[in-house]
Structure 1
Amino acid sequence: MQTSFNNMQRSLETLRTNHNDLTARNNQLQTNYNNLQRSNVKLQTTFDQVQGNYSSLKRDKDQLQASYNTLKQERDQMQTSFNNMQRSLETLRTNHNDLTARNNQLQTNYNNLQRSNVKLQTTFNQVQGNYSSLKRDKDQLQASYNTLNIRRNLLQIGYNLLQKDKERLQNSYDIVKTEKEQLQTNYSSLATSEEQLQKKIDKARRRMVCQTGWQKFDLSCYFVSTVKKCWLCSRRDCVAKGGDLVVIDSRGKQEFINSLLKKGEHAWIGLSDRIIEGDWTWVNGDPVTTTYWEPGQPNSVYGEQDCATFMQKSSGMGEWNDLGCDNKQIYICEL
């Protein structure tokens, strides 16, 4: 851009020189024109003498006029070119100023980088001083790593063998555990059956004949109280007699209990949800499998009806109802 600017500067000087030359020629022409004007005055007086040369002078004048017009056009064009070059010069100056500012910024960045480079060189020299020590440590660590890697591979092989043995043992353990659980289930079932049979045998041996005031049904004896007590008090009295509140686990027993009571009588039985609301269980811990609830029962009004009472029905086999345990009712004991 500087070179172009210099070339343009030289071109501008050349154009100025040409302009000055043209101006001088124009002045010369003006002088000649004035001289011709004066000559014309003289010639006018001697018109008759120079009448023969008039045509020639007129042609010269026309040529001079044409040259003058051409020079004027060239001068106008040169003025236009000069204006354009002036604007270009201003643009170049603006660009020069921008480049100067950018150059200054680059110089500043270069100086900053130079200072950073000095710091980095100092740090590099420090790192270089520690490199030898680090290299020795690295070599020692590499040797230790190689030794540990060999040991790890050996341990991995041993681990894989142990993993396979563990899987075989786990499979064997699962099979044995399944067999054990099955045997435990079978044993529990047999133990429960044995216990139930033993109870029936014991009852059969002890109760070939029921005590006075008790009535026999199947292998058990049943007692209907004549006094009224709360549910818990009723149970305590049955336990004191060697039994407990009656457990109804069959249709035949339901019908038999219904036959023990008078028409419309209510009596406590060994069923309650006193421990967990809504979880009705018998006093011997057996779950409730067969129920004879009155329609709409149990309804546990206000959540306070936790004990079951037997309602005698003349037609049918009786129904159950839930009632507050503090109510006093007659009760039925089973032995």
Structure 2
Amino acid sequence: MSSKVDGSDWEERKVAIYGNSNDEEVYYSCQPTGTGKKIYGIWKDQHFGEQHSLLTDAFQKLNTFASEGPQTQSHSAVQKEWRTLLCLKVLCVLTAAGIIALSICYLLLSLENNKMNNSYNQLQTKLSVMMVNNSRLEDEIKQLRDENEVVTIDHRRLQDDMKNLKIKTDNKKCRNGWMRFGCSCYLKSTFTTSWDKSRSDCQNKGSDLVIIDDEEEQGFITKLNQNGESWIGLEVGWSTQKEKYDWKWVDGSQLTEIFEKKEKIEFTDYNTAVYLNAEGKWKSLPKTRHKTFICEI
């Protein structure tokens, strides 16, 4: 038989209980409670005696099992489920930590790899530049060797020319009255005349007015002049190189910059030439003025 007590379903069943002498019928019912099911026993005989007491203990035990057993089993299942969830959470945390650690390691390795690639590229660039510079230096060295060979050949040629010139100079004798300096012979006139006539006289002797090339020759001409004033072979003429009138020697060469800065001679007339004064200084005068002169051959 089924019914409801306090809104809960319960069921009544008939069971056989065996006592000492006579069998008695008893009914029990199971009613849900807040923690499980509670068993109620109902007997037909109110004077059951000792069997009544035993049944009461049995029903109490059954009630205890009905109320506590499922709760204990449910609590154990919850604990087991909680432990499982905790293990899963720990495993997830450890997995996430491992993934993060691996990601960080990968990122660091990627950065280090990029740095190494950049360093490698820079080294490759430097190596390429060094190879280009090395090739250029090799070309320059080769060029310098070629130039050195040319200079060596020219030096030997100059040495041979100097030897030949020395032989010719040693065999060459200056005319009477002429003085020798280096490879040339010089003659200072004993009379005065204009610049144009001075040059004509030198040319008649197979020479020309003196051309001063360096300081040593300048010193020699100053001594030869012996405190006099003598025409030299420097005049004002048209310079094709400068495209204007300027100082030039009788052989057509330009006045060197060294002498030009040192002497600082100027001209106001195209018919102007240079003479050497008593102190060895260069001075300009019109060509019509009379001076002694120095020839060179």
With normalisation by structure 2, the TM-score equals 0.41
Name the structure with the higher helix share.
1
With normalisation by structure 1, the TM-score equals 0.36
